[in-house]
Structure 1
Amino acid sequence: MTIIIFRRWVSVLYPILLASILVHYCRGNSDERKVHIVYMGERPHSPSGNMSSLLAVRHISLLERVLGSASLAKESLVYSYARSFNAFAAKLSPQEVEKFSKMKRVISVIPNHKLHLHTTRSWEFMNFSPGQISAQKEGNVIIGFLDSGIWPESESFNDEGMTPPPAKWKGECHNITCNNKIIGARYYNTGGMYDPTEFKSPRDAMGHGTHTSSTAAGREVAGASFLGLAEGTATGGVPNARIAVYKVCWQNRGCSNADILAAFDDAIADGVDILSMSLGSSVPPPFFEDAMAIGAFHAMKRGVLTSASSGNSGPTPATASNLAPWMLTVAASTIDRQFVSKVVLGNGETFPGIAVNSFKLNGTTFPLVWAGDVANYSGGSGVINAKNCLPGSLNSYKTAGKIVLCHSIVGDVTGVAMANGLGAIMFNPIPSVNDFAFSYPLPATQVRSGDGDAILDYIRTTENPIATILVSETWKDVMAPYVASFSSRGPNRLSPEILKPDITVPGVDILAAWSPVASPSGSPFDTRKVKYNVISGTSMSCPHASAVAAYVKALHPDWSPAAIKSAIMTTANVMDPRKNEDHEFAYGSGHINPVAAADPGLVYDASEDDYIYFLCKQGYDNTTMELIAGRSNASCNGVALGRAWDLNYPTFGLVVEDGESISTSFTRTVTNVGPPNSTYHVSVQMPSLVNVEVHPTVLPFSAVGQSMTFTVKVSGPKIVDQPIRSGAILWGDGVHVVRSPLVVYTITPNSMAALPFKPAEKIRFGDQPGRLEHEIVETN
């Protein structure tokens, strides 16, 4: 009877069921769980300091409440954002999305759209469309790159439709063929020593210089990708600007001071307008013991702005390099996407990892081992070295053809490659930020510490553990921008009152042109050849800023380096301090806004004399200043030693020794570069602890180029142990907003004294943190 009734119901319902299935199919299986980001705003504070772990537990609890199952909640969770904000990513059905959307503490539930990464993603993220101005204006600007050279045959450097170089150009082209795009190329090697893989020419054997040059000024190239990942149109910020190459960095030898100064000397004389330098020292020497500061000072005197990376030593405080106030110092921040390469275990558990992984295992699983279990004892290695997958520490008989789980802080899989491992899963046993992606010479990904522990537990409790690593996907990061964990922080070790870095710019997972002879992962085991590569670092953010400086220069060719720098800083977008606990020490004036920088309204201009006055107050004597300036009237007579409060800088920094009262006055002068008749009114943003008075409160301008002076008096009670209190001085005319950060922080006596520094040095450029970081290498 039951069978008969069932058949009758099927006969009646069959057409309805068929229609329902067809509708469901046509809608793309709308009930399927898809990744969404549940955003809940500010990260709570925890007295115990373990809020990241607590939030991860809360995220699971919320998922369990909505999904109705603890196991399903764990399976659904793909990422827990818990260090700087409160959010998580999970696989949710439409009904579950609706439930989360109705929760009181949930701000938004955002679909995790897949993005196609390309260089213009960073420009689009900044709401900037390259090529906004005429090719003629852009073509009058020449950017000089002090770097590892260039690959001139790259499509990014074609000169189709470009006119001959501007008449001001006096440069030369050595040992490569230049064109109307690459108009000059020189190389410098004081020691005369060359790595066997190097070229005795400006040709790039490392990829770094090609990447930075194309990021700033590469032409539009359709269909660019990294081995099929991130396919799209690649372009620099100023695709019609000219490129001049000065190769000062060499494979395995770094970048010497002598070569850098020689390149500065040539570049200034050649007629460059902007200098871009993605290199620096790990311990900043005094200004005039620093080749970059010296070269940049002389460039400034001749109207050339130097844009330089702040370094890859973050998030440790006081690690920023390139601190001279006449340089634009650039930090690195994220854009709204991440590369995610998932690990799938034999039991079906899936863990998201961060990596640029193009290797296709097609879902095939392979034996999975923990590195600590496969130590190369016969080679003298024990568990400690093996679990970190150090070179030579693994037994190749036990790792060949297998995926190896490594404890890894810097994301190095060299040891696995040496031991013929098939792939690697890395995790830092100490919870840390995982906000940028490496590429590797084999299938690999970096998972969170807790996920690494779960994978290790799976290995230890399973007789034959297996796993696979999936090709990278691109996920949307709705929390961007925030300063990358590797980006070097302030305060300024040399002049604490001058806030450094100056600006933050995209520098995470940037796709740009590459040298086909260079390893895309930086590993000697990587034999892949690519025309475009994805890498991260302040080396990648610097050329973005250089491009914006060139854009402003093209529109305002008569502006001084200080005016261009001021325009970039005072128009920056305000960063969310909740995502950046180091505040201005991480991001300076804020996140770069190219369009606004072209029309800042007012600028804080500065001349050579202003910097000389600054240096006199820093302790440089008459003889030194006269030699630097090349004139006898550049003296320090009558200038007392003191703080740098009166340098006409676009930011205000007040350093107070612990236990002292807040009390000082700043003097600043602004120049009108907007409409002739403009009236600006001041507004102040500052925490209640600090009192700020500005006089006058109104600046009425009647002409372009007119300058007016104001003072800022800052006062407050005695303070102790104040890392940073942030505010801002804003001038507005109803159209423009000229914003200057004002920060107050305390130091202990002598805490900012410079560390001992050896004058015999080289400066090594840095790209990806943990690979080629900024570091000092002594000469022989």
Structure 2
Amino acid sequence: MHGFAARLTDGEAQRMATAPDVSRVYKDRVYHTQATRSPWFMGLHDDFGAWPDAEFGDGVIIGFVDTGIWPERASFNDAGLGPVRSTWRGKCVDALGFNASLCNNKLVGAKSFVTVELDASGLLTDSNPRDIAGHGTHVASTAAGAEVPSADLFKFAGGRASGVARMARIAMYRACNIGCFASDVVAAIDAAVTDGVDLLSMSIAYPAEPFYDDLLSVATFGAEQRGVFVVLAGGNKGPTASTISNVAPWMTTVGAATTDRVFPATLRLGNGVVLTGQSLYNIPFSQSQGAGMIPLVRTSCGEYDLTPDKVMGKVVVCSQDAGASAGFDVERAGGAGIVSVQSTERFWDTVMAQPFPLPGLLLSSAGGKKLADYMSSVAYPVASFNFTCDTVTGENRAPMVAGFSSRGPNPIVPEILKPDVIAPGVNILAAWSGAAQPSDSDMDPRRVEYNIISGTSMACPHVAGVAALIKKRHGDWTPAMIRSALMTTAGPLDKNGRDIVDSGSAVGAAATPMEAGAGLVLPRLAMDPGLVYDAGTQDYVDFLCTLNYTVEQMRQFVPGLSKCARTIPGGVANLNYPSFVVVFDGSTRVRTLTRTVTKVSAQPERYNVTVAAPDGVKVTVTPTTLEFKRVNEKRSYTVQFSSEAGAKVRPAGTWDFGHIAWENRKHRVRSPVAFKWDN
């Protein structure tokens, strides 16, 4: 991109917008960051599969636009790594508080672009790449952290830690502190692409806007033009529908899922009922001040509600979601413990652990209801905690889509299904900044080397790491081919072969593509997808032209464009994307879409199509068999979707789902299909 950031009055901005050499003036905005066992949970193994096949991502450079990095962490040691490739143009800056000598063959680039935020917030600290928030350190070590023999948080989740692509290299572009100004983010993306990163991982989100109004969409379009694979967090606004962020088709958009690891703690009520929640409080039961029966009191846990006369010596039950910061408020007021209850009844059987400073746990909404019923049934409710400080794996249903994970449909272009995939994003252990507390409280004096946090921010770098493995194995693949491999091999089933559940549903309903996209990323299968759906810059230009953007709007993406030369026949739903969205409106009951697949496997293959469709929809694929002899050979097929006359009447705005898969004995290339009735 060619431009600059400036402080302007409204009048100055209006005058600049009319200058003959100015294409567009954007008002700055603030993006927000979205806050080990997970590589193994995704099926990665040291001795076989994607890790050794891709040499653990050795040499691939992942750029991170985030809050910076704490380079002293063991996750960023470069043992066993050779020099970075000679074509790499990045560097580590020398700045007050950050010495370039801290970089090595693991951390190969570190720059800062947070000057606008520093000015706006009045901070006096020099701009440097050091992470004072923890978020950037966490995501970088998740994607590409070195293997560390022993890592934990307060003895929880202890064991070997590894990034998904542990021999990939890291380049950090600090553009965020608490928030991220768009101008800083764009400058960071521009620098990363110029430096020569292979991938960009950005765990930031902003409510979706038309692409020409969204600087992140414009900047990542430029990155895709240069062959850089871009992966972004989908946002933490779930379970509300149509809250998904980062929805352009050249972006890979990631939702969050749970893993099979939990940190159980229990609350025994005075009537003998035992409620199980999760906690990172690390004093065992026998030593805990919450070991005996203690009076319970319910409050809002607001600042003015936690007074000593109300809570002294009692376990405080928060009537709204409360994190570890509320625990410090309770502790300061003399409370003996805290119970936080998920406020929405739509969250089913998934809880994010919190590092409470005093005895405390987080209950699901179902557990919270049982607690509330007990408290209203007796005059003097009491309870006791039991903290075993255990980490339990393999016993809970997983993965599930996290309740907070933002959902589709795509609010800008419904014909492009988002999110694309899901990845582990709940209770993720990774490296942490030495300047940041492990909780969300400024009163927290604790400092840790590793922290456990949750969000689509944590899911995004898992996908970046898998993409780095694919890039190492298939260095000539386009970003679209990598995205296709991730999507068409993703799993819609959990570890026990059942449908992945949407924990944003009160009843534990099966997740649809609106919550889970194509499913959970599976690295082993993504390394060898068989067929891919490819697309390039011209395809995305045609896509934007099909949206009827004006020439001025198009010039945000293609500065020299004089007019749209062509559009996509049949509309934007015909973009060669690895998923389908079919809209039946009042004008037609039949929709026909076309796709082209490229063979990337070595041997000649024949694929047969299988289809799953909801009642009342007929799907006809032509041809039903695809034969390939050579690598990079292409074949096209058409799909006719018919909403059959006489089928059950669906109200306007109704969605239903199915899939199309090309299969043989070795490969299964699966695309989710979403159907919408607008008539």
TM-score (norm 2): 0.84
Instruction: State the match for 1:56 in structure 2.
Output: none
Checking the alignment, whether the CA contact within 8 Å between 1:391 and 1:418 is kept in structure 2 is no
Name which of structure 1's ranges 125-134 and 660-669 shifts more when overlaid on structure 2.
Answer: 125-134
Q: How much does 1:279 deviate?
A: 0.6
Q: How much does 1:395 deviate?
A: 1.5
The 3 A distance-change label for structure 1 pair 638 and 394 is closer
Q: Provide Cα deviations, 1:253-299, integer angstroms capped at 9, x if missing partner.
A: x1000000000100000010010011111x21111222221121111
Q: Does 1:182 align with 2:107?
A: yes
In the TM superposition, what are the counterparts of 1:95-106 in structure 2 within 5 Å?
Answer: none
Aligned partner of residue 132 in structure 1, secondary structure: helix
Instruction: State the match for 1:438 in structure 2.
Output: 353
Partner AA of 2:470 in structure 1: V
Q: Does 1:730 align with 2:668?
A: no
Partner AA of 2:62 in structure 1: I
Instruction: State the match for 1:68 in structure 2.
Output: none
The 3 A distance-change label for structure 1 pair 541 and 572 is same
Q: How much does 1:388 deviate?
A: 1.0
Aligned partner of residue 703 in structure 1, secondary structure: coil
Instruction: State the match for 1:591 in structure 2.
Output: 520
Name which of structure 1's ranges 603-612 and 616-625 shifts more when overlaid on structure 2.
Answer: 616-625
Instruction: State the match for 2:228 in structure 1.
Output: 304
Q: Does 1:158 align with 2:69?
A: no
Instruction: State the match for 2:326 in structure 1.
Output: 413
Partner AA of 1:639 in structure 2: T
The 3 A distance-change label for structure 1 pair 199 and 388 is farther
Partner AA of 2:114 in structure 1: N
Aligned partner of residue 660 in structure 2, secondary structure: strand
Q: Does 1:601 align with 2:497?
A: no
In the TM superposition, what are the counterparts of 1:590-739 in structure 2 within 5 Å?
Answer: 590-626=519-555, 628-632=557-561, 635-639=563-567, 643-657=571-585, 661-717=588-644, 719-721=649-651, 723-739=654-670
In 2, the alpha carbon distance for the partners of 1:537 and 1:133 equals: 29
Q: How much does 1:223 deviate?
A: 1.6
In the TM superposition, what are the counterparts of 1:53-68 in structure 2 within 5 Å?
Answer: none
Instruction: State the match for 2:301 in structure 1.
Output: 389
Partner AA of 2:463 in structure 1: A
Unmatched 5+ stretches in structure 2: 1-35, 503-508
Instruction: State the match for 1:474 in structure 2.
Output: 391
Partner AA of 1:219 in structure 2: A
Q: Provide Cα deviations, 1:507-536, integer angstroms capped at 9, x if missing partner.
A: 111111111221111112221111111111
Checking the alignment, whether the CA contact within 8 Å between 1:618 and 1:641 is kept in structure 2 is no
Structure with more relative contact order (C-alpha pairs < 8 Å, separation 6 or more): 2
Partner AA of 2:654 in structure 1: P
Instruction: State the match for 1:342 in structure 2.
Output: 266
Checking the alignment, whether the CA contact within 8 Å between 2:224 and 2:230 is kept in structure 1 is yes
In 2, the alpha carbon distance for the partners of 1:733 and 1:349 equals: 52
The 3 A distance-change label for structure 1 pair 430 and 293 is closer
Instruction: State the match for 2:6 in structure 1.
Output: none
In 1, the alpha carbon distance for the partners of 2:205 and 2:257 equals: 18
In 2, the alpha carbon distance for the partners of 1:660 and 1:369 equals: 64
Q: In the alignment, which of 314, 337, 340 is matched to residue 402 of structure 1?
A: 314
Aligned partner of residue 585 in structure 1, secondary structure: helix
Q: How much does 1:393 deviate?
A: 1.6
In 1, the alpha carbon distance for the partners of 2:366 and 2:166 equals: 44
Checking the alignment, whether the CA contact within 8 Å between 1:308 and 1:329 is kept in structure 2 is yes
Partner AA of 1:619 in structure 2: N
The 3 A distance-change label for structure 1 pair 693 and 471 is same
Q: How much does 1:468 deviate?
A: 3.2
Q: How much does 1:626 deviate?
A: 4.9
Q: How much does 1:572 deviate?
A: 0.9
The 3 A distance-change label for structure 1 pair 318 and 429 is closer
Aligned partner of residue 250 in structure 1, secondary structure: coil
Checking the alignment, whether the CA contact within 8 Å between 1:617 and 1:643 is kept in structure 2 is yes
In the TM superposition, what are the counterparts of 1:21-100 in structure 2 within 5 Å?
Answer: none
In the TM superposition, what are the counterparts of 1:290-329 in structure 2 within 5 Å?
Answer: 290-329=214-253
Name which of structure 1's ranges 477-486 and 556-565 shifts more when overlaid on structure 2.
Answer: 477-486
Partner AA of 1:395 in structure 2: T
In the TM superposition, what are the counterparts of 1:207-246 in structure 2 within 5 Å?
Answer: 207-246=134-173
Instruction: State the match for 2:41 in structure 1.
Output: 125
Checking the alignment, whether the CA contact within 8 Å between 1:339 and 1:437 is kept in structure 2 is no
Instruction: State the match for 1:171 in structure 2.
Output: 90
In 2, the alpha carbon distance for the partners of 1:698 and 1:309 equals: 36
Instruction: State the match for 1:249 in structure 2.
Output: 176
The 3 A distance-change label for structure 1 pair 242 and 345 is same
Checking the alignment, whether the CA contact within 8 Å between 1:238 and 1:550 is kept in structure 2 is yes
Q: In the alignment, which of 182, 185, 188 is matched to residue 263 of structure 1?
A: 188
The 3 A distance-change label for structure 1 pair 528 and 198 is farther
Name the Cα RMSD after superposition. 2.5
Q: How much does 1:630 deviate?
A: 4.1
Q: Provide Cα deviations, 1:187-211, integer angstroms capped at 9, x if missing partner.
A: 1124233676967311111111111
Checking the alignment, whether the CA contact within 8 Å between 1:335 and 1:477 is kept in structure 2 is no
Aligned partner of residue 391 in structure 2, secondary structure: strand
Checking the alignment, whether the CA contact within 8 Å between 2:546 and 2:567 is kept in structure 1 is yes
Checking the alignment, whether the CA contact within 8 Å between 1:142 and 1:272 is kept in structure 2 is yes
Q: Does 1:280 align with 2:280?
A: no
The 3 A distance-change label for structure 1 pair 578 and 468 is closer
Aligned partner of residue 221 in structure 2, secondary structure: helix
Instruction: State the match for 1:494 in structure 2.
Output: 412
TM-score (norm 1): 0.74
Name which of structure 1's ranges 664-673 and 388-397 shifts more when overlaid on structure 2.
Answer: 388-397
Q: Provide Cα deviations, 1:202-244, integer angstroms capped at 9, x if missing partner.
A: 1111111111001100111112110111110000011110000
Checking the alignment, whether the CA contact within 8 Å between 1:171 and 1:270 is kept in structure 2 is yes
In 2, the alpha carbon distance for the partners of 1:623 and 1:431 equals: 46
Partner AA of 2:580 in structure 1: F
Partner AA of 1:154 in structure 2: R
Partner AA of 2:669 in structure 1: V
Aligned partner of residue 158 in structure 2, secondary structure: strand
The 3 A distance-change label for structure 1 pair 468 and 736 is closer
Partner AA of 2:339 in structure 1: I
The 3 A distance-change label for structure 1 pair 700 and 312 is same
The 3 A distance-change label for structure 1 pair 428 and 570 is closer
The 3 A distance-change label for structure 1 pair 127 and 297 is same
Q: How much does 1:431 deviate?
A: 3.3
Checking the alignment, whether the CA contact within 8 Å between 2:295 and 2:381 is kept in structure 1 is no
Checking the alignment, whether the CA contact within 8 Å between 2:478 and 2:534 is kept in structure 1 is yes
In 1, the alpha carbon distance for the partners of 2:603 and 2:568 equals: 37
Checking the alignment, whether the CA contact within 8 Å between 2:51 and 2:469 is kept in structure 1 is no
Checking the alignment, whether the CA contact within 8 Å between 1:694 and 1:711 is kept in structure 2 is yes
> Percentage identity across aligned positions?
40
In 1, the alpha carbon distance for the partners of 2:597 and 2:383 equals: 65
Aligned partner of residue 473 in structure 1, secondary structure: coil
Checking the alignment, whether the CA contact within 8 Å between 2:218 and 2:556 is kept in structure 1 is no
Checking the alignment, whether the CA contact within 8 Å between 1:423 and 1:443 is kept in structure 2 is yes
The 3 A distance-change label for structure 1 pair 402 and 300 is same
Checking the alignment, whether the CA contact within 8 Å between 2:618 and 2:641 is kept in structure 1 is yes
Q: How much does 1:696 deviate?
A: 1.7
Count residues with an aligned counterpart: 610
Q: How much does 1:467 deviate?
A: 2.8
Name which of structure 1's ranges 414-423 and 590-599 shifts more when overlaid on structure 2.
Answer: 414-423
